[in-house]
């Protein structure tokens, strides 16, 4: 598999993955029980503890995904890292993170950025680690890995905000981690709303507010977020276009949904993805 194929595969996984997400816990008001007290769900008040996930645990499946040829440089750097110390160790950690970035594998990249950040406490390393952990969460359905990714993302962006309290990137990343972890979803939404109040066109905040609106059944709000993103001069418009199509579908706006789905096909010339989109369009035409 070459790097272009990996990029296509990652994009498809991200935009299709939401179909398997449950509604975000805490965003939908629970029904009252017979005594007038809020009903408790199985998950309410409890957060699944994060497992002790290591870089080796995520690196091995990532290597299998990218193949031996693209893994060769990474294996070489890993060998050097085992013998390194001090500044050489941090340099190699950042280089390994970059190599994983180049093949669109955010989970191992995140751990290497985190290691460098914990060593030197640089804001950019924390930002890189947090963003990759949030991306890794989006790309996996593994319930063992997800809590660890969320916890590590929160740690990273908390460290960003300690050094730069007004960082919009820090607030956005922490907001996403809070909602994903269900530990404080409304606190996370509040952070994202604070970001878009200061920066109405903030891509990441609007995208995630739109996705969270979908998960809580607020499709009208979701449409507004995605339409905002599609007015911006950005290349990466596949995700908001796909989610816009899904939101239109849920609102019963078939014509608009079909048009948006068709645009997705034009943006992503992948046969498997196109087949799935054709299925959605056929369903709407029936």
Q: What is the pLDDT of residues 125-160, one digit of tens each?
A: 999 999 999 999 988 889 899 999 999 999 999 999
Contact 179, 148 (CB under 8 A): no
* Residue 27 confidence (pLDDT) above 70: no
If asked whether residues 138 and 261 sit together in one domain, one would say no
In a domain, 11, yes or no: no
Domain count, the chain: 2
Report how far apart, in Å, the C-alpha atoms of 227 and of each of 15, 123, 222, 248 are. Answer: 16, 32, 9, 11
Of the chain, the percentage scoring pLDDT greater than 70 comes to: 81
Band the pLDDT of 286: cuts 50, 70, 90: confident
If asked whether residues 169 and 55 sit together in one domain, one would say yes
> Which of residues 159, 182, 199 is at a domain's end?
199
Q: How far apart are CA 43 and CA 28, in angstroms?
A: 13
* Residue 76 confidence (pLDDT) above 70: yes
56 SS3 class: helix
Q: Give the residue numbers spanning the domain of 101.
A: 1-6+50-199
* Residue 87 confidence (pLDDT) above 60: yes
If asked whether residues 184 and 237 sit together in one domain, one would say no
Tokens of 253: 């706006």
Residue 38 phi, psi (nearest 5):
-55, 135
If asked whether residues 194 and 242 sit together in one domain, one would say no
Contact 100, 31 (CB under 8 A): no
pTM, two decimals, is: 0.84
Q: What is the pLDDT of residues 268-285, one digit of tens each?
A: 877 888 888 999 999 999
If asked whether residues 169 and 64 sit together in one domain, one would say yes
Give pLDDT, residue 17.
Answer: 55
Contact 195, 208 (CB under 8 A): no
> Which of residues 139, 173, 199 is at a domain's end?
199
If asked whether residues 169 and 211 sit together in one domain, one would say no
């Amino acid at each position: 598999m070459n790097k272009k194929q990996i990029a296509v595969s990652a994009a498809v996984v991200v935009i299709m993955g939401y179909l398997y997400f449950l509604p975000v816990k805490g965003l939908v008001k629970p029904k009252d029980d017979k005594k007038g007290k809020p009903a408790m769900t199985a998950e309410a008040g409890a957060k699944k503890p994060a497992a002790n996930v290591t870089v080796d645990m995520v690196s091995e499946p990532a290597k299998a995904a990218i193949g031996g040829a693209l893994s060769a440089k990474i294996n070489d750097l890993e060998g050097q890292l085992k013998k390194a110390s001090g500044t050489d160790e941090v340099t190699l950690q950042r280089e390994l993170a970059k190599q994983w970035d180049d093949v669109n594998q955010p989970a191992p990249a995140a751990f290497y950025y985190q290691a460098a950040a914990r060593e030197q406490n640089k804001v950019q390393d924390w930002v890189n680690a947090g963003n990759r952990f949030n991306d890794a969460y989006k790309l996996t359905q593994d319930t063992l890995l997800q809590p660890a990714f969320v916890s590590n993302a929160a740690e990273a962006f908390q460290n960003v905000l300690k050094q730069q309290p007004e960082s919009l990137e820090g607030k956005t990343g922490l907001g996403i981690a809070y909602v994903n972890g269900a530990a404080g979803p409304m606190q996370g939404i509040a952070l994202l709303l604070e970001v878009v109040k200061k920066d109405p066109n903030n891509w990441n905040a609007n995208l995630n507010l739109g996705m969270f609106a979908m998960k809580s059944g607020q499709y009208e709000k979701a449409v507004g977020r995605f339409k905002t993103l599609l007015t911006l001069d950005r290349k990466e418009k596949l995700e908001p276009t796909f989610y816009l199509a899904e939101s239109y579908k849920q609102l019963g706006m078939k014509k608009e949904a079909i048009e948006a789905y068709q645009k997705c096909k034009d943006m992503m010339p992948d046969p498997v993805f196109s087949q799935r989109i054709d299925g959605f369009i056929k369903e709407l035409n029936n």
